[in-house]
Amino acid sequence: MTDVVESVTVEIGAPAEFVWDVLIDYPRYPEWNPYTVKVETTLRLGDPIDLSLPNRDGSAGTFVNREYIRVVDPPRHLRYDTGEELPGIFAFRDQWIEPLGPARCSYRTTDTFSGKYAEAVLEQTGQWVKDGFDAVARALKTRAEDLWVARVR
* Domains of the chain by residue range: 2-28+73-152
pTM of the model: 0.95
Q: What is the CATH number of domain 2-28+73-152?
A: 3.30.530.20
d(CA 108, CA 137): 6
pLDDT at 149: 95
pLDDT at 49: 98
Report pLDDT digits (tens) over 98-144.
Answer: 999 999 999 999 999 999 999 998 999 999 999 999 999 999 999 99
pLDDT at 32: 97
153 pLDDT higher than 80: no
1 pLDDT higher than 70: no
